[in-house]
């Protein structure tokens, strides 16, 4: 990855961190879950409203580092309107992207989320990036447990 691209990616992350999309609480979610990443101190709660197997609304709140906040913000933008099967596929693709070793494959389906591919070089940051996704997964499944990356 060239330095220019890195800077561009950094900018996208900072922008989502500064102005998180879909931040807040849903009044009547069909599912919600809380996630915690003790390594970094990130906390996130994901609220989701699904209807007929499709994500109608998804929001998040919490406090965390720039990576976890940006990941949550981009995640909500990406999965809104998608079917749960599509969300599952995106989740797996995202996880593969941030944990893969070797060449970085292109992930056109991930949109802005692709900027988070850089975290794979920082193992501690991978948990920041994936926390909102694990929490989303729990919210979809309606699991009442608290998600922890540890």
CA distance from start to end of the chain: 30
Residue 123 Cβ, how far from Zn ion at the closest point, in Å?
A: 12
Q: For residues 116 and 28, what is the distance between their CA atoms, to the nearest angstrom?
A: 30
The CA-CA-CA angle for residues 117, 120, 123, to 5°, reads 145
Q: Which residue in the set 9, 61, 65, 93 belongs to the binding site for Zn ion (CB under 5 A)?
A: 65
Site for Zn ion in 93-132 (CB under 5 A): 128
Q: For residues 37 and 89, what is the distance between their CA atoms, to the nearest angstrom?
A: 23
Residue 54 Cβ, how far from Zn ion at the closest point, in Å?
A: 30
| Complex with Zn ion: residue 32 or 68, whichever CB lies closer | 68
The CA-CA-CA angle for residues 4, 7, 10, to 5°, reads 150
- Which of the ranges 61-69, 75-83, 108-116, 142-150 carries the binding residues for Zn ion, by CB under 5 A? 61-69
Site size with Zn ion, rule: CB under 5 A: 5
Q: Which residues bind Zn ion (CB under 5 A)?
A: 40, 42, 65, 68, 128
């Amino acid at each position: 990855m060239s330095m220019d691209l890195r800077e561009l990616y950094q900018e996208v992350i900072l922008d989502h961190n500064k102005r998180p999309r879909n931040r807040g609480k849903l009044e009547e979610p069909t599912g919600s879950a809380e996630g915690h990443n003790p390594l970094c101190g990130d906390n996130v709660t994901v609220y989701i409203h699904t209807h007929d197997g499709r994500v109608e609304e998804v929001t998040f709140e919490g406090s965390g580092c720039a990576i976890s906040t940006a990941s949550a913000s981009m995640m909500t933008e990406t999965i809104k309107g998608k079917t749960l099967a599509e969300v599952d596929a995106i989740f797996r693709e995202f996880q593969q992207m941030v944990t893969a070793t070797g060449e970085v494959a292109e992930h056109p389906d991930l949109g802005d989320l692709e900027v988070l591919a850089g975290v794979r070089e920082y193992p501690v940051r991978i948990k920041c990036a994936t926390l909102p996704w694990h929490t989303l997964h729990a919210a979809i499944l309606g699991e009442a447990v608290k998600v922890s990356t540890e």
